[in-house]
Chains A and B, each alone.
Chain A
Amino acid sequence: MTVVDTPPPRLPVRGKPAATDGSWGGVSPMLTRLAAEHATGVLVRERGTLYLAEGRVAHAESPLTPGLDLLLTAHGTLEAEVWRDAVARADDRHGAAHLLLDGGHLTEGALELCHLGALYDAAYFALAPSSTPGRFRYGIAHRLGPVLPVPVADLERETLRRRELLRRIWPDARPDSAPLVRTYATAAPKLTPRQHTLLERIDGVRTAPDLARELGRQAFHTLVDVRRLAAAGLVAPRDAPGPADGGPTPTLTEQLAYTTDPHITLLKRLRDALEAL
C-alpha cells in the first residue's frame, strides 16, 4: 500500500474586493471635502443627487427611490394636488415645505419624519459605488426649502450601516436591481403582511425599486424585505434572459437555472451564500 504524505493542494480562494472597500472609511471623498468647506449646492452622482446647504445634506433624490411627494401622497397623508400647488408657489424665501406647514396640510412631525426617511433612502443609492465621478454645482437650492438638514458624517455612517445590514440578511446583492421571480421553498418561514404584499407583486419583470415605487414604500426598506425573502428561498433574481419563443431548446444548464426543484434551489442558495462569504 502506498502512503501519500504530501498535503492536498490548497483550495482556491477568491479575492475579497468588498473587504478592502469596507476598510476605507468614507463613501465619497468629494462629499467629505464639500462638507468640510460648508458648501451649498448640488452634488450629482451616477445613481442620485444630494442637495447640500452649508455643508449639510438638505435633500437627496435618486431615480431608484420614490420621492417625498410619492411617500406623502401614496398613503393618503397629503393630496397630490396640494403638493403640486405648494411646489408651484414655492420661491426662494418660502420653500414648499414651509407652505405645506403654514397651510395646515401637514404636521411638522409627519413632514420631518417622512423627509428624513426619503433623504436617507435616496442617499443610500446616491452614495453607492459608482463608475463615473460626481459633479458639484455651487449655489443651487431645492424647491422644498430646508426641513431637517443632516450632517454628512451621519449620512455616511448610516449608509455604511445599511450596506452591512443588507449583507448580513443575505450576502448576494443581485436581487437589489434584477427583475425578481418567485421560487418555492420547502420550509418557508411565516411572512409579515408587508412581505406578503410585496411577494404577491413579484412577476419576473419588476425590480425591487419598481415595486417600492408602486407600493409607495422606501426603496431601502423594500431591499430589506426582498433580501429576507431571498434568504428564505422565496425570491430570486432573474439574472439570465429566459428562452425566447421558438428559439433553440434550452441546454441542461439553462434548464437548471430556472428549476424550482426544492433540492436544487436549496443547493444553489447554499452555493451562492458560500461564494459570497
Chain B
Amino acid sequence: MANTETCLKEALASIEGATGVALVDYTSGMALGTMGGSKSFDLNVAAAGNTDVIRAKMRTMEHLGLKGQIEDILITLSDQYHLIRLISGRGGNGLFLYLVLDAKRANLAMARHQLKRIEEDLEV
C-alpha cells in the first residue's frame, strides 16, 4: 500500500532510464500526479495529449471488432520511449500511467515489467 507520490517517485528511481512519469485521468486528460519532466517537457501537456492517442486506438479496435483490452502502448522516438499503461480505477473511471524513458539507457522489457508492478502497488 502506497500513496501516489511514493509510487511515482519509485517509478522514476527504480526504472532505468526513466526521465518522467505521470498518472493521468483518462476522461478529462488531467495529470493526477507527475514526477520528473523538465521545462522543455511539460508532463501535463503530454498527459492531456496522450488521452487522444488511447481514444483513437480504442475506437479503431471497436471498429475492427477486437475484444481484447489494451494493456500498454509503446511509442518509439529516435531518442525516447513513451510507455502508456492503462489502469481501471476504483472510482469507476479509467486512468493511465505515462512513462518517459531515455532510449539510450532504458531496458524496454524491464521497464514494462516494472511499470506493471508499480500499478499493483498503487492499488487505485
Contacts and interface: CB of A to CB of B under 8 A. Distances in A.
Contacts, number: 77
A113 B32 contact: yes
B17 interface: no
A53 to B, nearest CB: 18
A108 B91 contact: no
Contacts of B90: 75, 77, 110, 114
Contact of B124 (A71, A109, A165): A109
Interface in B11-43: 23, 25, 27-30, 32
Nearest to A77: B90
Given A77-B90, A221-B93, A110 B123 contact: yes
Nearest to A72: B91
A157 to B, nearest CB: 8
Nearest to B61: A190
A168 B118 CA distance: 34
Contacts of A224: 27-28
B122 interface: yes
Nearest to B89: A113
Nearest to A193: B62
A113 B27 contact: no
Nearest to B23: A113
Contact of B62 (A108, A112, A165, A190): A190
Contacts of A108: 1-3
B50 interface: no
What secondary structure prevails in chain A residues at the interface with B?
helix
A224 B113 CA distance: 33
A253 interface: no
A59 interface: no
B59 A190 contact: yes
Contact of A75 (B4, B30, B62, B91): B91
Most buried by B among A109, A116, A148, A190: A109
A216 interface: yes
Interface residues of B, number: 26
B73 interface: no
Interface in A142-196: 148, 158, 161-162, 165, 189-190, 192
B32 A217 contact: no
Given A107-B123, A161-B48, A165-B29, A113 B95 contact: yes
Contact of B91 (A117, A158, A162, A225): A117
Contact of B4 (A72, A74, A113, A165): A113
B92 A71 contact: yes
B7 interface: yes
B122 to A, nearest CB: 5
B74 interface: no
B32 A109 contact: no
Please give me the 10 A-B residue pairs with the lowest Cβ-Cβ distance, nearest first: A108-B3, A221-B27, A77-B90, A107-B123, A75-B92, A114-B91, A190-B62, A109-B122, A107-B1, A71-B91
